[in-house]
Amino acid sequence: MTNPLLTPGDMPFELPDFAAIEDAHFAPALDAAEAETRAAIEEITRNPDAPTFANTIEPLELSDEALNEVLGPFFLLAAVSSTPEREALQRAFSPRLSTLGTDIALNEALFARIDVLWEQRDEHDLTDEQLRVLYLHHRSFRRAGAALDEEGRARLREINSALSEKSTAFGLNLLADERDWFMPVTDTAGLPAFLINAMKSAAEEKGSDAPIVTLSRSLIVPFLQFSPNRALRKKAYEAWTSRGANGGKTDNRTLAAEMLSLRAERAALLGYESFADYRLETEMAKAPGKVRDLLQAVWSPAREQAEIDAKALEKRLHADGFDGPLEPWDWHFYAEARRKEEHALDEAELKNYFQLDRMIEAVFSCANRLFGLEFKPLDVDLHHPDARAWDVTRNGEHYAVFIGDYFARSGKRSGAWCSALRAQKTLGGVTTPHVVNVCNFAKPPEGQPALLSYDDARTLFHEFGHALHQMLSDVTYGSISGTSVPRDFVELPSQLYEHWLEVPDVLDQFATHAETGEPMPADLRDRVLAATTYNMAYQTCEYIGSALVDLEFHAGPPPADPMQKQAEVLEEIGMPRAIRMRHATPHFAHVFSGGYASAYYSYMWSEVMDADAFAAFEEAGSAFDETTAKRLEDNILSTGGSEDPEALYTAYRGRLPGVEALLKGRGLDRVA
363 within some domain: no
Q: What is the pLDDT of residue 1?
A: 64
Show the domain range for 40: 12-105+107-147
User: Is residue 586's pLDDT more than 60?
Assistant: yes
User: Is residue 541's pLDDT more than 70?
Assistant: yes
Query: Is the Cα torsion angle 223, 229, 230, 236 positive or negative in sign?
Result: negative
Q: What is the pLDDT of residue 619?
A: 96
Q: What is the pLDDT of residue 665?
A: 86
Percent of the chain with pLDDT over 70: 100
551 within some domain: no
Q: What is the pLDDT of residue 341?
A: 92
| Spatial contact of 540 and 298, defined as CB atoms under 8 Å apart | yes
Q: What is the pLDDT of residues 496-535, one digit of tens each?
A: 999 999 999 999 999 999 999 999 999 999 999 999 999 9
The CATH number of the domain where 23 resides is what? 1.20.1050.40
Q: Which of 34, 65, 314, 463 is catalytic?
A: 463
pLDDT band at 5 (very low <50, low <70, confident <90, very high): very high
Q: Is the pTM of this model over 0.75?
A: yes
Which among 198, 225, 250 is the end of a domain?
A: 250
Q: What angle do CA 18, 24, 25 make, to 5 degrees?
A: 55
Of 478-492, 622-636, 657-671, the poorest mean pLDDT is in 657-671
Q: Indicate if 219 and 133 belong to the same structural domain.
A: no
User: Is residue 672's pLDDT more than 60?
Assistant: no
How confident is the model over 286-291, as a mean pLDDT? 96
Percent of the chain with pLDDT over 90: 95
How confident is the model over 608-623, as a mean pLDDT? 95
Q: Indicate if 31 and 137 belong to the same structural domain.
A: yes
Residue 672 CA to chain centroid, in angstroms? 29
Q: What is the pLDDT of residue 347?
A: 84
495 within some domain: no
628 within some domain: no
Q: What is the pLDDT of residue 671?
A: 67
162 within some domain: no
Whole-number Å distance between alpha carbons of 89 and 71: 11
Q: What is the pLDDT of residues 23-78, one digit of tens each?
A: 999 999 999 999 999 999 999 999 999 999 999 999 999 999 999 999 999 999 99
The yes-or-no answer on residue 265 being catalytic is no
Q: Please provide the DSSP assignment of 291-357 as one string.
A: HHHHHHHHHHHHHHHHHHHHHHHHHHHHHTT--S---HHHHHHHHHHHHHHHH---HHHHHTT-BHH
How many structural domains are present in the chain? 2
